[in-house]
Amino acid sequence: MFEHAIVRTPGPDAISGLTTQTGEPPDLAGLKQQHRVYCKVLASLGLTIVHLAAEEGFPDAYFVEDTAVVTPEVAVITRPGAPQRRGEEQTIASVLSAYRPLKAIARPGTLDGGDVMIIGRRAFIGLSRRTNRQGADQLCRILAPFDYQCTQVVVNDGLHLKSSVNSIGGQQLLIIETWAGRSEFDGFEKITVGPSEAHACNTLWINDHLIVPDGYPATRTKLEATGKPVMMLETDQIRRMDGGLTCLSIRL
């Protein structure tokens, strides 16, 4: 059970950050409102919300998950793969030092927290446009003394590993259909998501509840069939900045 969530307020420049999406930019007021609702939902699940102020000059800084990987034993400060985002992790490190011993990824390694999925003592690390093998190898070495088994996964769909697969409790994964047969995830029960609802893969399992992006009815039906409590949140503005529900907080 998580006790705290670290979040950062989207700044006035939030819609000028990095994105692969085309078309109209998000509405800043709408994005901020969706972020506020997200924080209220986390608080309703018993988490103490640690609010950080907007980071001037870092429009993507409200995607705090990319700046750290936190386990019960250690917090690993990342080195973001996008050069424009390097520096966001500095204020995160000062906050996390109150909760965990700190380690850090060093150059030439790059690592985004969105590429790391930890399930029990297993750490799945995506090799993506943002995380390179040197960064993944460093994380494996940091986690090894704590008996974590690391599996590196080539990310060929989406921005991050967790764009395509997420733990939804126990031995269940929510995973994009095209990844369902991948050997890295053998032994897990897989609930698949079709290509038209790919964004729904970024579902957050937290304190025995599933927080799910709204607007993906087929995925919602599958998740409700698990018997787990499902909470739907609007994320369309956040999605336009390549963001999802896991990106917006560091849970510990």
| pLDDT tens figures, 118-175 | 999 999 999 999 999 999 999 999 999 999 999 999 999 899 999 999 999 999 999 9
Q: Express each pLDDT in 21-42 by its tens digit.
A: 988 889 999 999 999 999 999 9
Burial of 47 (0-12, 13-18, 19+ CB in 10 A): buried
pTM: 0.97
| Enzyme catalytic residues | 160, 247
Fold of 4-251: L-arginine/glycine Amidinotransferase; Chain A (3.75.10)
Strands, sheet with 48-52, edge to edge from the N-terminal-most edge strand: 48-52, 4-8, 250-251
Q: What are phi and psi of 230, to 5 degrees?
A: -115, 130
